[in-house]
Chain A
Amino acid sequence: MSFLEVFQYTRQDSPIHNIDPRAKLVMSIAFAIISLTFINIVPLLIFFLFLVPLIIAARSLRRWSRSMKGLSFLLLFIMVFNTLFSTVPNPFSHSIALTLRLICLMTSFSLFFLTVHPDELSQALIQMRVKFEFAFAMSMAMRYVPTLGQEAYAIMDAQRARGVELDKGSLLSRIRGIIPIIVPLIIVSIRRALSIAESMESRGFGGSENRTYMEQLRFRCRDWGVLAASVLLLLLILYLRFFVPLPDWVLWELPY
């Protein structure tokens, strides 16, 4: 589960943390689209090298690299699976590009989730005219990701003590081994959801129609700058990708 860390907010004081969440949302989406625009090693690598300094600026390099380590199994799996079963001419090269693309995508979104507090997110959504209930549900969901992770660990421990082998045996028996983890996890979550709902109601959730907020988000020059820069970058990349013939070095592939 450690790869989920990269989507978990950490309280820190960094230039990236201080950007308005709405600007950051646009930035992350722009970055994600850019990651999806290419399927070649060179441009994705360049983009990756562009993202890493941003992670460093957000003072989250260690957390990010830990997550990537946690993800390495999946990445390896994607690489092997695609190499073996892909029908493109250079399967190995293609699968490396795919893996890079996933890393870029995750990094783009992690820039948002690592640096936006759930409360900030819901405030941003509300100021984007999303209904309070939905915004609240969204920030609650984010808030409970790590809790769910901890719960999953506790359940795994409990089941391993009853002889469930989670990392041994054939693929089929491993899939079967998931059931004793998933069922309690769902039930525990439902139980908790019910009790949270009760405790929220008993504290008057939804009691008044028009909520007011102590802190309002304000767009500053810097945020406009980030917004404009991300949109411009996105447009530039899209233009280059679709209206300019790409030079050979960009399309370079491994020979197999």
Chain B
Amino acid sequence: MIIMEDVHFSYEGLYTALRGVSFQINQGDRLAIMGANGAGKTTLIKHMNGLLRPMRGRVFVDGGNASSKSVAELSRIVGLVWQNPDHQLFLDTVEKEIIFGLRNLGFSQEDAQQRCDRTLSKLSLEGFGERSPFSLSGGERKRVALASVLAIEPLVLALDEPTIGQDARQKELLADLLKELNEKGCTVIVVTHDIEFVVEHFPRTIAMADGKIVADGPTRSVLSNQQVLDLCSLTIPQLTQTARALHRTFPTASERCFLLSEVEDAIVEILEGQ
């Protein structure tokens, strides 16, 4: 779906953000990109829809070389949802806001209207259609921004820090929504620091540090590598810390637990053993 080959990028030749990034993302993947601040995560996803073009190396999107397509063309395939919704909202109703992007990308008025209605109900934003985006709370604005991209129904959805400013319930809903989209064949990529969110919902993780990929593989093995965690300034999830503490006292218990059920099982095993 998305292939990058040895991609290099630097901002105005001053600050090097990517130094040789290569990976392949397949249709239907659900993956997280993690890394410390300034590791190049946002720069990386901006290459996926052509907002940034590699200075060296190549980017392929949906089988074609991205360099031959415009940002608008690529945006129909790869939808980027930004960290700050205020950077894109400018119209006086939520509905217009969602339809604006659709019309720009060449959908007919009726089609756009239908997609808009569908998306609003999917994101439990019914009744918000006529509201002004500026009267909404931060979390709601974030969902409107998400809706404006979802409505395009892109093959790949890339979200930059989607969990910031969302309460636990909204986070769950977001995770469910992303899983549902993913099951329907949409490739989902998130850039985040929220390790619990990743461990629970994303099977694959790409870890970045200093403009390079330091690990790429199943989330569990990537995030149980202490070296990777250090490079990405991540702390292990509390559940894993608990498991490690258990392991220190009861060496039979596994120290590589990421989910609540696994820790529960470990405790039950210990109790049964005694």
List residues of A whose CB falls within 8 A of some B CB: 2, 151, 154-155, 157-165, 179-180, 183-184, 187-188, 191
Contact = CB atoms under 8 A, between A and B. Distances in A.
A163 B87 contact: no
Contacts of B134: 187
B197 interface: no
Contacts of A151: 87
B82 interface: yes
B43 to A, nearest CB: 11
Contacts of A163: 72, 75, 101, 104-106
Contacts, number: 60
B49 A162 contact: no
Given A154-B84, A187-B134, A162 B90 contact: no
B88 interface: yes
A165 B87 contact: no
A158 B72 contact: no
B46 interface: yes
Interface in B99-152: 100-101, 104-106, 134, 148-149
Interface string B77-88: 001101010111
A129 to B, nearest CB: 39
A159 B134 CA distance: 17
Contact of B88 (A179, A184, A191): A184
Residue in A155, A158, A162, A164 with the greatest tally of chain B CB atoms within 10 Å: A162
Contact of A164 (B12, B49, B82, B104): B104
Contact of B90 (A157, A161, A184, A191): A184
Give 9 closest A-B pairs by Cβ, nearest first. Answer: A163-B104, A183-B90, A162-B101, A158-B88, A163-B105, A158-B87, A163-B72, A155-B87, A160-B71
Residue in A161, A180, A183, A187 with the greatest tally of chain B CB atoms within 10 Å: A161
Contacts of B72: 160, 163, 165
Interface string B51-93: 1000000000000000000011001000110101011111000
B51 A157 contact: yes
A191 B87 CA distance: 12
Contact of A162 (B12, B46, B84, B148): B148
B88 A187 contact: no
12 contacts: A154-B82, A158-B82, A158-B88, A161-B51, A161-B71, A162-B149, A163-B105, A180-B88, A180-B100, A183-B90, A184-B89, A188-B86
Interface of B: 12, 46, 49, 51, 71-72, 75, 79-80, 82, 84, 86-90, 100-101, 104-106, 134, 148-149
Chain A contact residues: helix, strand, loop or mixed: helix
B86 A187 contact: yes
B95 to A, nearest CB: 15
Contacts of A191: 86
Given A165-B72, A187-B134, A159 B88 contact: yes
A184 B134 CA distance: 10
B237 to A, nearest CB: 31
Contacts of A159: 88
Nearest to A177: B104
A184 B87 contact: yes
Contacts of A179: 90
